[in-house]
Amino acid sequence: MKEFASSSPSIGSATGVTLSGNPAVLNAEEYGSAPSSQGRTGFPKASGQSLSYWLQQVRSDPLLDHRTTEQLPEQADTVIVGSGISGTLIAKHHLETWPERSVVVLEAREFCSGATGRNAGHCKPDQWRHFAKFEKAYGHEQAIQIMNNEAATWRALVSYVKENNVDCDLWVGDTYDVPLDDDVAKIAKECFERYRDLGGKVDHIKVTHDPVKAARISRIKNAKACYSWNASTLQPWKLTAHIMRENLKNGVNLQTYTLAKSIAADSSGSRKWLVNTDRGDVACDTVVHATNAYSAALEPSLKGVITPKPHICNKVVPPRAMSGSKAIQNSYGVLLPDGGLFSINPRCTADGVVMFGGSNSGQKQLDRWVEDHPEHCINDGLARIESITECVREFVENNLEGWKEAEIGPGEGFDYSWSGIIGLSADGVPFVGELPGKPGQFICAGHHGHGMARIFTAAPGLVKVMNGEPWEETGLPEVYKMTPERLKRLRSATEEAPKVAIV
């Protein structure tokens, strides 16, 4: 661990992410992974999606409705369902591993129009914050592995973008985690120090517990502490599109606007599986479910195991008083007293527009509404949800110097918000591996609001599993592995699964 300047005082051992007699929670809410209507699921919404800022930027890109062949192929060695960052990266590693095998990618709507094309554009490796939660659920060695895997994922993503000159507005710089009150700061400090004391790597993290210094460094008035390490922001659709274009050059057949409706054994015996779509059947030997939030609609054994939830991202054009040399230059996780979070991506290398994601109290209100209206669990047609925007407005006015007084002219300010669908995993970590009882069907899904810090290693990891390599070769934490035991445990109503939410 590095200090911003002078050293911090030491503190006693941590007990977790809540402390007795302390009402605060460190951003790790149970509710996120335990919706009461757990059986809810659905296929991607067929029409009426709101357009994210990323999708608005690429309206003339022919990849959006690309079909490599006019007709849906009748056969392929492998069918990958889903063209988000998971499906697209799995196709890439599949081609590298088996260049001779044919691959069809099915996408229900426009290319990459699921969570990847609608997220907040932050690739922020968790480097300590959820350690205590993961430790409680899985023990400290797995929890440390999860933190290490997130760092490795971020490095892999940045290397790929740099080595391939990908035009995706990549920013690499200091991200700040900033607790906004004393109670959260105390829990955060205990969590961080417990992680360090149990062998977690912290030498790349700069910390100050001095509120004055934290406010100066972070520019957040009510900061009580500041933790800083390297992270990235990017335009996620453009990154995914770059990888898919390479895949197409290497022989992938992409079929957009093609919904996979069910999968059955191929009774003709020519192949193992028959993927039934709204445009006909594709027979294949291998199926990959890269369907994230929608996984249980296609694979019913995942009902209650992967649950969809709409999540909102706000786009804000900073006022002139907060632009130019005064523009925000870092990304953030702002830790709120009620366990909520603002995830902030200011697009420093691009247009300076600021994205606000995370789980503020307005988002919680939306979550409760979806509990009562489960038919909206896959509604990515939501836009301009005022209760959530209001929380962001209140935060910036109270915390960012100059914002409250700033004149907001036409074209500035709170511009737009949209929804995307998060895939909650019932035990808080993704599923990577073969589907139990379905030889030749594989899955990489359940990434919560955090897939950008997981999938760049989860996707190649899955391809290694498909290649018969031992799990250790994937480099992924053991708890990410899809196993019959894990699925059975999570499906069992009597056995309580450990719940860890990352939103």
Ligand X SMILES: Cc1cc2nc3c(=O)[nH]c(=O)nc-3n(C[C@H](O)[C@H](O)[C@H](O)COP(=O)(O)OP(=O)(O)OC[C@H]3O[C@@H](n4cnc5c(N)ncnc54)[C@H](O)[C@@H]3O)c2cc1C
* Interstrand relation of 413-425 and 354-358 (parallel, antiparallel or unpaired): unpaired
Residues contacting 491, CB < 8 A, separation 6+: 301, 304, 305
DSSP 3-68: ESSSPPPP------SS-TT-----S--GGGG--S-TT---PPP-S-PPPPHHHHTTTT-GGGG-BS
Minimum CB distance to ligand X, residue 88 (Å): 7
Specify burial of residue 264 (Cβ count, 10 A radius: 0-12, 13-18, 19+): exposed
Partners of 79 in the β-ladder: 104, 287
346 binds ligand X (CB under 6 A): no
* Interstrand relation of 441-445 and 280-289 (parallel, antiparallel or unpaired): parallel
290 binds ligand X (CB under 6 A): yes
Among 78, 119, 286, 399, binds ligand X (CB under 6 A): 119
Using CA atoms, how far apart are residues 174 and 483, in angstroms rounded to an integer? Answer: 37
95 binds ligand X (CB under 6 A): no
* CB-CB contact of 310 with 382 (8 Å): yes
- What values do phi and psi take at 81, rounded to 5? -100, 115
427 binds ligand X (CB under 6 A): no
238 binds ligand X (CB under 6 A): no
Minimum CB distance to ligand X, residue 416 (Å): 13
- In this complex, which beta carbon is closest to ligand X, that of residue 215 or of residue 239? 239
118 binds ligand X (CB under 6 A): yes
- What values do phi and psi take at 153, rounded to 5? -65, -45
Stretch that binds ligand X, among 57-65, 106-114, 471-479, 487-495 (CB under 6 A): 106-114
Q: Can you say whether the dihedral through the CA atoms of 29, 30, 32, 35 is positive or negative?
A: negative
- In this complex, which beta carbon is closest to ligand X, that of residue 45 or of residue 486? 45
Among 91, 115, 158, 220, binds ligand X (CB under 6 A): 115
Using CA atoms, how far apart are residues 441 and 437, in angstroms rounded to an integer? Answer: 9
- In this complex, which beta carbon is closest to ligand X, that of residue 449 or of residue 477? 449
Minimum CB distance to ligand X, residue 150 (Å): 9
Residue whose tokens read 């057949």: 253
Minimum CB distance to ligand X, residue 1 (Å): 24
Among 153, 228, 343, 474, binds ligand X (CB under 6 A): 343
Among 27, 78, 83, 175, binds ligand X (CB under 6 A): 83
363 binds ligand X (CB under 6 A): no
Longest alpha-carbon distance in the chain: 72
Minimum CB distance to ligand X, residue 112 (Å): 6
Minimum CB distance to ligand X, residue 224 (Å): 23
- What values do phi and psi take at 107, rounded to 5? -135, 130
Among 35, 44, 179, 333, binds ligand X (CB under 6 A): 44
Three-class SS state of 270: coil
Among 64, 108, 188, 234, binds ligand X (CB under 6 A): 108
Q: Which of 378, 333, 381, 115 is nearest to 231 (CA)?
A: 333
- In this complex, which beta carbon is closest to ligand X, that of residue 81 or of residue 391? 81
| C-alpha to C-alpha distances, 75 to 72, 101, 341, 354, nearest whole angstrom | 9, 11, 46, 45
Among 41, 292, 307, 425, binds ligand X (CB under 6 A): 292
Stretch that binds ligand X, among 29-37, 71-79, 85-93, 158-166 (CB under 6 A): 85-93
Minimum CB distance to ligand X, residue 65 (Å): 13
Q: Which of 175, 171, 126, 173 is nearest to 148 (CA)?
A: 126
- In this complex, which beta carbon is closest to ligand X, that of residue 179 or of residue 449? 449
- In this complex, which beta carbon is closest to ligand X, that of residue 447 or of residue 481? 447
106 binds ligand X (CB under 6 A): yes
Three-class SS state of 2: strand
120 binds ligand X (CB under 6 A): yes
Minimum CB distance to ligand X, residue 385 (Å): 11
263 binds ligand X (CB under 6 A): no
313 binds ligand X (CB under 6 A): yes
Among 66, 450, 464, 481, binds ligand X (CB under 6 A): 450
Stretch that binds ligand X, among 4-12, 263-271, 393-401, 447-455 (CB under 6 A): 447-455
Among 138, 176, 195, 294, binds ligand X (CB under 6 A): 294
Three-class SS state of 308: strand
Site for ligand X, rule CB under 6 A: 43-44, 81-87, 106-109, 113-116, 118-123, 259-260, 290-294, 298, 311-313, 343, 357, 420-422, 445, 447, 449-453, 455
